Amino acid sequence: MDETIRYTACTISSHWGRCFDRLTEEEKDYLDKQSVAIRYKKGEIICKQGSFVSQVMYVKKGLVKVYLDSGNNSLVLKIIPEGNLLGLAAVSQEYNTYQYSAMTYIDSEIQQIDINVFRELLNKNPEFSREVIDILSSNSVQIYGRFFCLTHKQAFGRLADIILCLSERIFKKKEFELPLSRKDLAELSGMSSETVIRILKKFHEEGLISINGKNFIVHDYERLQQISDKG
């Protein structure tokens, strides 16, 4: 069978936190008592690159950007929607600082779980551990694909990837209100804001999408996928 691997610049983390389903009721209750839910406004920093890790964070509501920051430049690694985890690298005691920063795209609610409690549950519950390993593996594969696309795909293919991912993985419908600015889209696709605006206009003129302010409609998934595949 001839199978083609599709590399995508998609930054959307789609692995829901189903690891918690593997916990017993007693373990869930213990975890809840050792965690706290914090509400963040749009644009607030959740964690800072280089700071000490004291929690694993679960996105209960909202949308979060994970990025590397050099001071002058930043690189978006992924977007994390609700139902996903932050800070999993710290389950290994070798990494006791955040390797990235995270910021909210919209008002969000984050459940902060004591890192030592999380590690304790990993040691006690093998099913829970397997699910967490699956999440870490999925995250690695996703980031490999993203870097391949950012270095090999042309601008049209990269932006098509992002549009498809937002529609299919975040909003799960063709018509949605996009909370991201053109600057945000430029960061995600590794382009300038001017290039993003030009390509969005081209997609609109060709009937692939419609944009009215923040209202966004995807009209032609198939053609966008073809653009993505061709790069």
Q: What residue ranges do the domains of the chain occupy?
A: 18-149, 154-230
Q: Which residues contact residue 72 at a Cβ distance below 8 angstroms, ignoring those fewer than 6 apart?
A: none
157 within 8 A of 231, measured Cβ to Cβ: yes
For residues 227 and 219, give the distance between their C-alpha atoms in angstroms, rounded to a whole number: 14
| Burial class (CB within 10 angstroms; exposed 0-12, middle 13-18, buried 19+) of 59 | buried
**Distance (Å, whole) CA 225 – CA 115:** 40
Share of the chain above pLDDT 90, in %: 47
Residue 229 parent element (H or E): helix 221-230
DSSP structural state of residue 53? P
CB atoms within 10 A of CB 162: 25
CATH class for the domain made up of 18-149: mainly beta
Q: What is the pLDDT of residue 8?
A: 52
Higher pLDDT, 115 or 213: 115
Answer yes or no: are the C-beta atoms of 77 and 142 closer than 8 Å.
no
Q: What is the pLDDT of residue 120?
A: 95
Q: Comparing 112 with 168, which gets the higher pLDDT?
A: 112
Cα separation of 194 and 199, whole Å? Answer: 9
For residues 113-130, give the mean pLDDT. Answer: 94
Which tens digit of pLDDT belongs to each residue from 130-166? 999 988 888 887 777 777 777 888 899 989 988 988 8
- Specify the pTM: 0.81
Q: Sorting pLDDT into bands at 50, 70 and 90, what band is 3?
A: very low
**How many Cβ atoms from other residues are within 10 Å of residue 174's Cβ?**
15
> Can you give the pLDDT at residue 5?
43
Query: Tell me, what's the pLDDT at 4?
Result: 42
The per-residue pLDDT for range 16-65, each reduced to its tens digit, is: 568 899 999 999 999 999 999 999 999 999 999 989 989 999 999 999 99
> What is the average pLDDT across 103-129?
95
CATH of 154-230, one of 1.10.10.10, 3.40.50.10540, 3.40.50.10440, 1.10.357.10: 1.10.10.10
Bridge partner list, 86: 57
> Kind and range of the H or E element at 63?
strand 63-69
Residue 231 confidence (pLDDT)? 66
The mean per-residue pLDDT over the stretch 210-223 comes to 91
Which of 51-65, 169-183, 208-222 is predicted with the least confidence, judged by mean pLDDT?
Answer: 169-183
For residue 91, pLDDT beyond 80: yes
